[in-house]
Amino acid sequence: MEKEISGKKISKVEVSNPKCLNMPLEKFRKAIVGKTIESVENRGKWLFIKLDSKCFLLFNPGMGADVIHFKPEDKLPEKYQLKVTLRDGTGFTIRVWWFCYLHLVPQDKLGEHKLTGKLGLSPLDKGFTLDYFKQLLANNRGNIKSFLLDQKNIAGIGNVYVQDPLFEARIHPKRKIRSLTEKEIEALYKPLQSILKESIKLGGLAYEKDFHGKYGGYGKNQYRIAYKPGQPCPVCQTTIEKVKTGSTSSFICPKCQDLDD
């Protein structure tokens, strides 16, 4: 996305779901049409699109979205809620699976933005060292899975990517953080990073499209125990179970990931 749209000027914006904006549509349109996109970055599940007006367009796809690039001669996707056209005739459409946020925030107010101001580091950030991870967990009383999913602690780990790292570290999702040993924390640290790296290398999840509409390659063949209930654990052959953990589902090997240790 950075490669295709940065340096280009926005000439038109269409929004059919204005509820996703943090201001009235007309005001939003006036503020971004004519501005040039300087860069595109992500922080966790958020896209940060920097404009030359010292403002950021912050986009969060909710449960998911297809953000697809187009050239003037391309046929557009059948359904989309957002369309941004650039001066050279290229642009992108966004089809939201359920809901999304598209907020325009001045650079000097980024820290005050409720949804992104307190985002934690991504496991792929340079600062996410083993010491940092240990510090983050220190003195925390909750259980490990909820902690990992809370974007204020770590940005970018969702319910898909949390399953296998917990399995690799042989930690039950409901374990109290206080009960984790140094060794377990170290065993958890590495797969939190490697799972994201591998997925990025393969273009994301198998049901997600990239900016050019191509599906990702990270799926069943890569999952260790995630989304494989009823199948044998790859380590001990015990049947993988699907269990409720708060509002989310977890996949565990009941033998490898014992709750009582």
Sole residue written with tokens 């399995």: 167
Sole residue written with tokens 């049409």: 33
Q: Which residues contact 58 (CB under 8 A, 6 or more apart)?
A: 46, 47, 48, 49, 101, 102, 103, 104, 105, 113, 115, 116
Among 136, 235, 243, 259, binds Zn ion (CB under 5 A): 235
Q: How far is the CB of 261 from Zn ion (least distance, A)?
A: 14
Q: Is 38 exposed, middle or buried (0-12, 13-18, 19+ CB in 10 A)?
A: middle
Q: How far is the CB of 146 from Zn ion (least distance, A)?
A: 23
Instruction: Compute how many other C-beta atoms are within 10 angstroms of the C-beta atom of residue 93.
Output: 20
Q: Does 166 bind Zn ion (CB under 5 A)?
A: no
Q: Does 68 bind Zn ion (CB under 5 A)?
A: no
Q: Does 236 bind Zn ion (CB under 5 A)?
A: yes
User: Rounded to an integer, what distance in angstroms lies between the CA atom of residue 199 and that of residue 35?
Assistant: 33
Q: Does 76 bind Zn ion (CB under 5 A)?
A: no
Q: Does 105 bind Zn ion (CB under 5 A)?
A: no
Q: Does 233 bind Zn ion (CB under 5 A)?
A: yes
What does the block give as tokens for 95? 């089809």
Q: How far is the CB of 169 from Zn ion (least distance, A)?
A: 13
Q: Does 253 bind Zn ion (CB under 5 A)?
A: yes
Stretch that binds Zn ion, among 46-54, 119-127, 192-200, 236-244 (CB under 5 A): 236-244
Give the footprint of Zn ion on this chain (CB under 5 A): 233, 235-236, 238, 253, 255-256
